[in-house]
Amino acid sequence: MKKNKTEDHTTKPVDNKKVQSLQPHTADATDQQMTTDHGLLINDDQNSLKAGERGATLLEDFILREKLTHFDHERIPERVVHARGSGAHGVFKLYKPLNKVTKAGFLNDTEVETPVFVRFSTVAGSKGSTDLARDVRGFAVKFYTEQGNFDLVGNNMPVFFIQDAMKFPDLVHAVKPEPDNEIPQAASAHDTFWDFISLMPESTHMIMWLMSDRAIPRSYRMMEGFGVHTFRFINEKGVASFVKFHWKPLLGVHSVAWDEAQNISGKDPDFHRRDLWEAIESGAFPEWELGVQIVPEEDEFKFGFDLLDPTKIIPEELVPVERIGKMTLNRNPDNFFAETEQVAFHVGNIVPGIDFTNDPLLQGRLFSYTDTQLIRLGGPNFHEIPINRPIVPIYNNQRDGFMRQQINKGKTSYGPNALGNNDPQQVREADGGFTSYQERVDAKKIRNRSKSFFDHFSQARLFFNSQSEPEKNHIIDAFSFELGKVKTIAIRERMLGILSLVDPAIAAEVAFQLGLKVPKKIEQPINRSIPADGVVADYQPIEVESPIARSEALSMENTVKDGIVSRKIAILAADGVDAKSLNSMKEALEDAGGVVHIIAPKLGVLLASDNSQIPVDESFLTAASVLYDAVYVPGGTNSVATLEAEANAVHFLNEAFKHCKAIAADEQALQILEATYFSQKIPDEFSEETVLSEGIVYGNKGFRLAALFIKAIAQHRFWNREKPRLVPA
Residue 365 or 586: the one with the smaller Cβ distance to ligand HDD is 365
CA atoms within 13 A on the CB side of 406: 20
CA atoms within 13 A on the CB side of 280: 25
716 binds ligand HDD (CB under 6 A): no
For the CB of residue 468, give the shortest distance to ligand HDD in the complex, in Å: 26
For residue 258, which amino acid is it? W
Residues 186-245 that bind ligand HDD (CB under 6 A): 228-229
Residue 131 or 509: the one with the smaller Cβ distance to ligand HDD is 131
**φ and ψ of 454, to 5 deg:** -90, -5
Show the site string, 30-69: x = touches ligand HDD by CB under 6 A, - = not: ----------------------------------------
Residues 81-110 that bind ligand HDD (CB under 6 A): 81-82, 85
231 near 292, Cβ under 8 Å?
Answer: no
Per rule CB under 6 A, count of chain residues that contact ligand HDD: 26
Bin 228: left if φ > 0, else alpha if -120 < ψ < 50, else beta: left
Q: Whole-angstrom Cα distance, residue 660 to residue 695?
A: 8
Rg (CA), the chain: 29
| Among residues 49, 64, 80, 537, the one that binds ligand HDD under rule CB under 6 A | 80
Residue 343 or 577: the one with the smaller Cβ distance to ligand HDD is 343
Please tell me whether residue 137 adopts helix, strand or coil conformation: strand
Q: Whole-angstrom Cα distance, residue 570 to residue 709?
A: 12
For the CB of residue 142, give the shortest distance to ligand HDD in the complex, in Å: 9
Q: Which of 16, 82, 229, 388 is catalytic?
A: 82
208 near 215, Cβ under 8 Å?
Answer: no
> Which residue, judged by CB position, is nearest to ligand HDD in the bound state?
138
Residue 228 or 649: the one with the smaller Cβ distance to ligand HDD is 228
Q: Whole-angstrom Cα distance, residue 460 to residue 369?
A: 29
Q: Whole-angstrom Cα distance, residue 222 to residue 199?
A: 33
| Among residues 102, 114, 121, 263, the one that binds ligand HDD under rule CB under 6 A | 121
Angle at which helix 637-644 crosses helix 647-658, to 10 degrees, equals 80
- The alpha carbon of residue 99 and the mean position of all alpha carbons in its chain are separated, in whole angstroms, by 31
User: Closest Cα partner for 436 from 344, 347, 357, 345?
Assistant: 357
327 near 287, Cβ under 8 Å?
Answer: yes
User: Closest Cα partner for 705 from 640, 636, 649, 632?
Assistant: 632
Residue 217 or 634: the one with the smaller Cβ distance to ligand HDD is 217
Residue 24 or 77: the one with the smaller Cβ distance to ligand HDD is 77
For the CB of residue 359, give the shortest distance to ligand HDD in the complex, in Å: 8
Residue 160 or 686: the one with the smaller Cβ distance to ligand HDD is 160
Q: Whole-angstrom Cα distance, residue 596 to residue 588?
A: 10
For the CB of residue 398, give the shortest distance to ligand HDD in the complex, in Å: 20
Q: Are strands 231-234 and 240-249 parallel, antiparallel or unpaired?
A: antiparallel
Residue 144 or 657: the one with the smaller Cβ distance to ligand HDD is 144
For the CB of residue 293, give the shortest distance to ligand HDD in the complex, in Å: 16
For the CB of residue 207, give the shortest distance to ligand HDD in the complex, in Å: 15
For the CB of residue 162, give the shortest distance to ligand HDD in the complex, in Å: 7
Q: Which of 16, 89, 149, 155 is catalytic?
A: 155
Q: Whole-angstrom Cα distance, residue 605 to residue 666?
A: 21
| Among residues 21, 372, 648, 671, the one that binds ligand HDD under rule CB under 6 A | 372
Please tell me whether residue 223 adopts helix, strand or coil conformation: coil
168 binds ligand HDD (CB under 6 A): yes
310 binds ligand HDD (CB under 6 A): yes
All residues at 6 or more sequence positions from 13 whose CB lies less than 8 Å from its CB, including other chains = 331
Show the site string, 125-164: x = touches ligand HDD by CB under 6 A, - = not: -------------x-x------------xxx----x----
Q: Whole-angstrom Cα distance, residue 605 to residue 612?
A: 10
Dump the DSSP string for 418-444: STTTTPSPP--GGGT------------
Residue 156 or 566: the one with the smaller Cβ distance to ligand HDD is 156
Bin 655: left if φ > 0, else alpha if -120 < ψ < 50, else beta: alpha
Q: How many CB atoms lie within 10 A of CB 519?
A: 16
**φ and ψ of 567, to 5 deg:** -70, 145
| Among residues 119, 134, 205, 492, the one that binds ligand HDD under rule CB under 6 A | 119
For the CB of residue 537, give the shortest distance to ligand HDD in the complex, in Å: 21
Mark the segment that binds ligand HDD (CB under 6 A) among 48-56, 79-87, 400-408, 411-419.
79-87
For the CB of residue 259, give the shortest distance to ligand HDD in the complex, in Å: 27
Residues 332-371 that bind ligand HDD (CB under 6 A): 344-345, 361, 364-365, 368-369
For residue 622, which amino acid is it? T
Please tell me whether residue 171 adopts helix, strand or coil conformation: helix
For the CB of residue 344, give the shortest distance to ligand HDD in the complex, in Å: 6
Residue 149 or 642: the one with the smaller Cβ distance to ligand HDD is 149
408 is catalytic: no
155 is catalytic: yes
CA quadruple 392, 397, 400, 401: dihedral, nearest 10? -80
Residue 81 or 478: the one with the smaller Cβ distance to ligand HDD is 81
Mark the segment that binds ligand HDD (CB under 6 A) among 73-81, 92-100, 567-575, 706-714.
73-81
For the CB of residue 84, give the shortest distance to ligand HDD in the complex, in Å: 10
Residues that bind ligand HDD (CB under 6 A): 79-82, 85, 119, 121, 138, 140, 153-155, 160, 165, 168, 228-229, 310, 344-345, 361, 364-365, 368-369, 372
Task: Give catalytic residues, as residue numbers.
Answer: 82, 155
